[in-house]
């Protein structure tokens, strides 16, 4: 796996389950639904996978003259949700980076314990954080 790029073949990603879910081959029970939602909330790669699958489902329905409304509505809602999560994640990452620069990593980790834990395990987020902190530490250019 290259730095900053996820290995989507690892078991932690749920592409197979998402495919089964979209084609109605898997109906998760309430506990599985909770796990699915938790993973989707935290994993942009699987959210994007689901968006692609829902887009394919919508196109399939269109090509076969099946009703598109439900696939379209679900796709629209999920894309909106994905964008909101991404925006919040970037704001949170920015605040964490600013805290590292201002107070040091140890203090920042105390203020953002869940994010710090996630970043310790996620190469993509580690890379983003390193780049953000480096940018914040750059001296301001004088005109």
Print the domain residue range for 58: 15-137
Query: Domain for residue 52, yes or no?
Result: yes
Residue 56 lies in a domain: yes
Residue 2 domain-assigned (yes or no):
no
Give per-residue burial for 32-71: e unless 16+ CB within 10 Å, then b: eeeebeebbeebbbbbebbeebbeebbeebeeeeeeeeeb
Please state the domain count of the chain. Answer: 1
Q: Could you report the per-residue pLDDT of 20-43, keeping only the tens digit for each?
A: 888 889 999 999 999 988 888 888
Asked, for residue 8, whether it belongs to a domain, the answer is no
Find the mean pLDDT for residues 2-21. 66
**pLDDT single digits (tens) 67-111:** 878 888 989 998 999 999 888 888 999 999 999 999 999 999 999
């Amino acid at each position: 796996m290259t730095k900053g790029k996820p290995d989507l073949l690892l078991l932690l990603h749920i592409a197979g389950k998402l495919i089964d879910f979209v084609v109605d081959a898997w109906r998760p029970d309430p506990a599985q639904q909770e796990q699915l939602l938790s993973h989707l909330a935290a994993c942009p790669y699987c959210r994007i996978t689901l968006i692609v699958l829902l887009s394919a489902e919508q196109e399939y329905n269109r090509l076969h003259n099946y009703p598109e409304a439900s696939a379209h509505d679900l796709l629209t809602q999920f894309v909106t949700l994905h964008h909101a999560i991404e925006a919040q994640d970037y704001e949170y990452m920015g605040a964490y980076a600013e805290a590292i620069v201002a107070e040091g990593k140890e203090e920042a980790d105390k203020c953002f314990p869940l994010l710090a834990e996630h970043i310790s395990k996620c190469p993509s987020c580690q890379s983003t954080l390193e780049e953000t902190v480096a940018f914040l530490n750059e001296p301001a250019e004088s005109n």
